[in-house]
Amino acid sequence: DGILVTSSWTTTSEAIDAVSSVFMASNVYNEYAASAAGNGTDWVLTFPTKRFYVDSSITLTSSPIAPFEEEFGANEDGLSCTVVGIVNYDREENTLAATGCGFSPCPPGQPPSSICHETNVITFNANSTTNSVLSSTLTSNIVPIGSAGWAALNLDPNAGPDIGNPFFGESGGPHNLHVALNGNQFHGLPVTGFQATNFVVGGSTSILANYSSVNRHRISRSCTNAGGGCS
């Protein structure tokens, strides 16, 4: 809400939280376009400090450290999955209840609606997970509603429903940073990234035009303090 929030961590084990707090987001929002005409969108989500919470060679522990919930390779798959909530709307604000894992196809053996890499690519394509604008071969796919609209990822799924959608919550988390010295606690995950969209326009005159754009994600932050508001 436009206020300055100051938080401090002093212990060695929690020093990385000072960096993570700058990137913390409870929700990520952006637009998508996907159609048979060749329009496509990739979302890139990077967790820049993730390794300091889930890599045992750095943490020197066999358990993940919050706000992440799975150590790298805990299931002998080389992944570290975290559960997110998913909702998407078409251009007329129509939406449907989320079913299954939220991604299509659902990754076998992984938690529902989970993203599992340090850098993740999410595609929006109703037909296939291979149509990545960035040509990524490691994608999670969301089946969009209509050919264009906007979507949101809830990175603090245990917080429950959000933006008026009762299907936005998922069973995961909680995703909370350690409490700062002044009582501030950030909720969600430390994330940054962007949306890449490609528009393909063709016609009967054999004229082909490509239009591409990159836009940063919009986010919302969540910070609580048992002694009052974060400050």
pLDDT tens figures, 158-217: 654 444 443 344 445 578 999 999 999 999 999 999 999 988 776 666 666 778 899 999
* pLDDT given for residue 39 in this prediction: 75
Say how many Å lie between the first and final Cα of the chain, rounded.
11
CA distances from 192 to 27, 89, 120, 148 (A): 11, 22, 11, 23
Query: Which tops the pLDDT comparison, 120 or 114?
Result: 120
CB atoms within 10 A of CB 74: 17
Q: 207: burial class by Cβ within 10 Å (0-12, 13-18, 19+)?
A: exposed
| Mean residue pLDDT across the chain | 81
SS3 letters across 59-120: HCCCCCCCCCCCCCCCCCCCCCCEECEEEEEECCCCCCCCCCCCCCCCCCCCCCCEECCCEE
The model's pTM: 0.83
Please choose, from the candidates 182, 124, 218, the residue with its C-alpha nearest in 3D space to the C-alpha of residue 7. 182
Q: What is the pLDDT of residues 7-63, one digit of tens each?
A: 988 877 688 999 999 999 999 999 998 876 667 899 999 999 999 999 988 888 888
For the segment 140-144, the average pLDDT, to the nearest whole number, is 83
CB atoms within 10 A of CB 14: 16
